[in-house]
Amino acid sequence: MAVVTIIGAGMMGSALAFPARENGNEVRLVGTPLDREIIDVSRATGRHPKFKKDFPAGLKYYQVEEMADAIAGSDMIIGGVSSFGVDWFGDVVLPAIPDEIPVLSVTKGLWDTEDGKLLTYLDLWQEKLDALGKKLVLNAIGGPCTSYELVAHDQTEVAFCGKNMEVLRKLKSIMATDYYHVSLSTDVTGIESAVALKNGYALGVALTIGLNQKAFGNDELHFNSQAAIFGQAVKEMSRLLEYQGSGTLDNLCVGAGDLYVTVYGGRTRLVGILLGRGMNIDEAKAELNGVTLESLVVAVRVARAIKICVKKGILDLKDFPLLMHVDEILTDKKAVNIPWEAFTFEA
């Protein structure tokens, strides 16, 4: 039996308590400063307030002030913060973790630099650790997985990525179940980039759902346009993975799978539909007040990096018409006007 400490009691971090606990491990769920009510409710009821199923029996709950007690004696730490908690996790949590305890992050995203590079969150955290002289082993989870379906035990396949395969195998042995299947990769940049890139593109696919609802009503289903955007999204993701130096089929498939599940089961779908129906981004955000939209941040960052690389002659703007339009919608508040003809090709 291992001791698994999850720091961040949001939906995905909390969902991972299910395979971790059902695999026979001791599981400790620690809230961030924003999770106080979640921890209180979970302690009192044995259920996360947004789940329809009780946590496995025996889970232990900790408020953020009790984090040191939860970390002590752990065999692994799962970082369950959203992308908006990246700085807090890097500045507060990572320095408090002993070097011998591996970290597995569920936080998806990319950070753009002034010279057009796209860094993973593990890259950013590693810079902080290097400055502190710490030797923590950082790893991450990527792949198609929504929290509520993991809780429901829908068959799920993800990828754990990190620099040390032996560490990854240990983490897999702790977490893998008969419904939670884990591939392993030492290409951190590839896996982390793939699952972050899908965010802006999922928004692009969801635009067509809103456009069709506006044109035909909610009762008719239209898939031609969704499929066309999906294909263009995968094409542009492939080009960006090549730019990242990680354009393998495995990485692309992890990203494409995550794109699919995000289109059909994520918060990004909601904002994309509202934009497609005719709202601007400010109106859509107001309509979804309180819903975190990490996809918007990633899309703008990646688009900004592409523009820098275009000026430097590294990338060609015509290779990314879908993401550039998504960026126009988000940054310039332009109306949805999908550039369909820009997706066509001659081979």
- Phi–psi pair at 181, nearest 5 degrees: -105, 135
Other beta carbons less than 10 A from residue 343's beta carbon = 16
CA 144 to chain centre: 9
218 DSSP 8-state letter: S
Question: Could you give the residue ranges of the DSSP H alpha helices within 244-344?
Answer: 249-265, 267-277, 281-287, 294-311, 321-331
Q: Which two tokens stand for residue 120?
A: 């993973």
- Residue 143 · residue 254 · CB < 8 Å: yes
Residues contacting residue 248 through CB under 8 Å, at least 6 positions apart: 187, 190, 241
Helix (H, G, I), strand (E, B) or coil at 182: strand
Q: Which one is catalytic: 50, 108, 198, 333?
A: 198
Helix (H, G, I), strand (E, B) or coil at 61: strand
- The two beta strands, 110-112 and 76-79, are unpaired
Burial 84-94 (b: 16+ CB within 10 A, else e): ebbeebbeebb
Residue 170 known to be catalytic: no
Q: How far apart, in Å, are the Cα atoms of 239 and each of 14, 178, 234, 236, 291?
A: 34, 34, 9, 5, 30
Dist. CA 27–CA 263, nearest whole Å? 31
Catalytic residue numbers read 198
